[in-house]
Structure 1
Amino acid sequence: MTLRATSPRRQRLFRRLARDERGVSAIEFALVAPLVFILILGTVEVALDMIVDASVQFAAQQASRAGLTTVVPSSGTRDAEARRIVYTILGGWRNIGGTVDIGTRAYSTYNDIAAGNYQETMGGFGDVVLYNISVTMPTFSGIPKLFGIETMTFQRSYLVQNEK
């Protein structure tokens, strides 16, 4: 009894299957679809992250403008007004699990910045104030979690001198 590698019948079957193109589109889709879906979700993640970053930028600008003037707003203190502005702009991100941190440091002069002499207030007339606004939140799509990134932090700092 001799063993053949393949019989003529099998050879014909293999040739016929090699020429058959049915189902090729389904196989190509199965190979490419996961990559395309990951790219789409990644693009949406980046776009949403850019929106959050822009809103943090805008909130920091508006808070520093409110604190820049030495006029006490009708709603209370300048600090309360700046916080109200930041929470109004960034409040939506808090609703989806984000945290908003606002920090202010007042320096008497620009030279005090290097020395580290500051107060945790919005300062008085002519003081130099550093505004630090940050938002920490979970990722939107989960794509960054594939790379070990659980949360995203967006931060802006503004250094302004109050009016004299």
Structure 2
Amino acid sequence: MRRLSDMRRLMTVLRRDQRGTTAVEFAFVAPILIAMVLFVVELSLMMFVNTVVEGGLREASRIGLTGYSSEGVSRDQLIVNVVNEHSLGMVTVNLGDIHTYVYPSFADIGQPEPFEDGNGNEAYDEGEDFTDINGNGVWDPDMGKAGLGGASDIVIYTLDYDWSFLTKLLTIPMQASIVVRNEPYGTSP
């Protein structure tokens, strides 16, 4: 009987004792709080890197739109070098990561090559006549021609890169792009 009363007394004392409750509550809340802070830091870094890469691509497009070339280095490589310099080492870009397409006008960006819709289904079908705008011999859903273009051409620069979170748990494919009209270089006023 004495043991039962001691046990009840102990339970009453423990039930009323508030010491340590903050530590227990913090143990429940801390993982969620830490995960939220890490998410905000990761999202902020991702946005910062995207902004820096877009700025680097904007600066790199200046090489293309002015027609600048350097002895011993292609314009494509100069563009990659500028993007790498501006990305602060957070992203490393290679020649295959930047895609450039030339268009006749701004309205043509992302438009398919014109075709004769023989069966009236408003979609290109094999064998229908088409105008090969980009000169590759096949109908394309985007009429852009690969390259940096010439004087006064419209060029879209697109950079595909992967952003790895600091925790290395996730890698997200990202993209930056800019559309410019090349300057009328090589022509006299």
Structure 1 moving runs of 4+ over 6 Å: none
The one-letter amino acid paired with 2:164 is P
- Is it true that 1:134 corresponds to 2:160 in the alignment? yes
75 and 89 in structure 1: CA distance in 2 versus 1, 3 angstrom threshold: farther
Q: Which residue of 1 aligns with 2:177?
A: 157
Aligned-partner residue type, residue 156 of structure 1: A
Over residues 3-28 of structure 1, what are the superposed CA-to-partner deviations in whole Å (9 max), with x where a residue is unaligned?
x9xx4443322211111122222212
TM-score by length of 2: 0.68
1:10 & 1:43 partners in 2: Cα distance?
48
- Output the CA distance in 2 between the equivalents of 1:67 and 1:30: 56
CA contact under 8 A between 1:134 and 1:155: conserved in structure 2? yes
Paired amino acid for 2:104: S
- The whole-number CA distance in structure 2 between the counterparts of 1:91 and 1:127 is 30
When the two chains are superposed, the root-mean-square deviation of aligned CA atoms in Å is: 2.7
2:25 matched to 1:54?
A: no
CA distance in 1, matches of 2:68, 2:41: 42
- The answer as to whether partners of 1:106 and 1:119 remain within 8 angstroms in 2 is yes
**Kept in 2: contact 1:66–1:82 (CA 8 A):** yes
Identity of aligned residues (%): 32
1:55/1:90 contact within 8 Å kept:
yes
Residue among 95, 100, 103 paired with 1:104: 100
**1:17 is aligned to 2:14:** yes
Structure with greater helix share of residues: 1
Matches within 5 A, 1:44-123: 44-73=41-70, 76-90=73-87, 92-94=89-91, 101-113=97-109, 114=111, 115=113, 116-123=142-149
The Cα offsets for residues 108-132 of structure 1, whole Å up to 9 and x where unpaired, read as: 3335432333321100011110100
Query: Matches of 1:40 and 1:110 in 2, distance apart?
Result: 42
Q: Which structure 2 residue ranges, 5 or more long, are not aligned? A: 114-141, 185-189
User: Equivalents in 2 of 1:91, 1:75: separation in Å?
Assistant: 25
